[in-house]
Amino acid sequence: MDKKFCQNLKMIRKDCELTQKQVAQKLGVVESCYANWEQGRTEPNIEMLRNLCEIFQVTIDELINGE
Protein backbone atom coordinates (compact mmCIF):
# COMPACT_ATOMS: atom_id res chain seq x y z
CA MET A 1 0.00 0.00 0.00
CA ASP A 2 1.17 3.48 -0.83
CA LYS A 3 2.38 5.19 2.34
CA LYS A 4 1.42 8.61 0.98
CA PHE A 5 -2.18 7.46 0.49
CA CYS A 6 -2.36 6.23 4.08
CA GLN A 7 -1.01 9.54 5.38
CA ASN A 8 -3.39 11.54 3.19
CA LEU A 9 -6.37 9.45 4.28
CA LYS A 10 -5.62 10.03 7.96
CA MET A 11 -4.87 13.74 7.48
CA ILE A 12 -8.03 14.39 5.47
CA ARG A 13 -10.16 12.49 7.99
CA LYS A 14 -8.74 14.55 10.84
CA ASP A 15 -9.22 17.78 8.86
CA CYS A 16 -12.89 16.80 8.52
CA GLU A 17 -12.98 16.24 12.30
CA LEU A 18 -14.22 12.68 11.94
CA THR A 19 -13.18 9.60 13.87
CA GLN A 20 -12.30 6.31 12.22
CA LYS A 21 -15.52 4.90 13.65
CA GLN A 22 -17.62 7.70 12.12
CA VAL A 23 -16.08 7.21 8.67
CA ALA A 24 -16.50 3.44 8.90
CA GLN A 25 -20.18 3.89 9.78
CA LYS A 26 -20.72 6.22 6.81
CA LEU A 27 -19.11 3.62 4.55
CA GLY A 28 -20.98 0.69 6.07
CA VAL A 29 -17.80 -1.15 7.09
CA VAL A 30 -16.42 -2.16 10.46
CA GLU A 31 -14.01 0.24 12.12
CA SER A 32 -11.09 -2.19 11.84
CA CYS A 33 -11.56 -2.34 8.07
CA TYR A 34 -11.18 1.43 7.78
CA ALA A 35 -8.31 1.49 10.30
CA ASN A 36 -6.45 -1.06 8.16
CA TRP A 37 -6.59 1.37 5.21
CA GLU A 38 -5.00 4.14 7.27
CA GLN A 39 -2.36 1.73 8.54
CA GLY A 40 -1.58 0.35 5.09
CA ARG A 41 -2.54 -3.23 5.87
CA THR A 42 -5.22 -3.33 3.20
CA GLU A 43 -6.52 -0.95 0.56
CA PRO A 44 -10.02 0.16 -0.39
CA ASN A 45 -11.58 -0.90 -3.67
CA ILE A 46 -12.55 1.70 -6.28
CA GLU A 47 -16.13 1.95 -4.98
CA MET A 48 -14.86 2.71 -1.48
CA LEU A 49 -12.41 5.27 -2.87
CA ARG A 50 -15.33 7.05 -4.53
CA ASN A 51 -17.31 6.93 -1.29
CA LEU A 52 -14.37 8.30 0.68
CA CYS A 53 -14.11 11.19 -1.75
CA GLU A 54 -17.79 11.96 -1.28
CA ILE A 55 -17.52 11.87 2.50
CA PHE A 56 -14.41 14.05 2.59
CA GLN A 57 -15.42 16.25 -0.36
CA VAL A 58 -12.08 15.74 -2.14
CA THR A 59 -11.04 14.38 -5.52
CA ILE A 60 -9.49 10.95 -5.92
CA ASP A 61 -6.26 12.72 -6.93
CA GLU A 62 -6.26 14.70 -3.68
CA LEU A 63 -6.93 11.54 -1.69
CA ILE A 64 -4.20 9.51 -3.38
CA ASN A 65 -1.54 12.12 -4.13
CA GLY A 66 -2.28 14.89 -1.66
CA GLU A 67 -2.89 18.55 -2.38
Q: What is the pLDDT of residues 10-63, one digit of tens each?
A: 999 999 999 999 999 999 999 999 999 999 999 999 999 999 999 999 999 999
Tell me whether residue 34 is exposed, middle or buried, using C-beta atoms within 10 angstroms of its C-beta: 0 to 12, 13 to 18, 19 or more. Answer: buried
Number of independent structural domains in the chain: 1
Per-residue confidence band for 66, with pLDDT thresholds at 50, 70 and 90 = confident
Annotate the chain with DSSP letters as a single string. Answer: --HHHHHHHHHHHHHTT--HHHHHHHHTS-HHHHHHHHHTSS---HHHHHHHHHHHT--HHHHHH--
User: Which structural domain, as residue segments, surrounds residue 41?
Assistant: 3-65
Question: At 53, which CATH number?
Answer: 1.10.260.40
* Global pTM value: 0.92
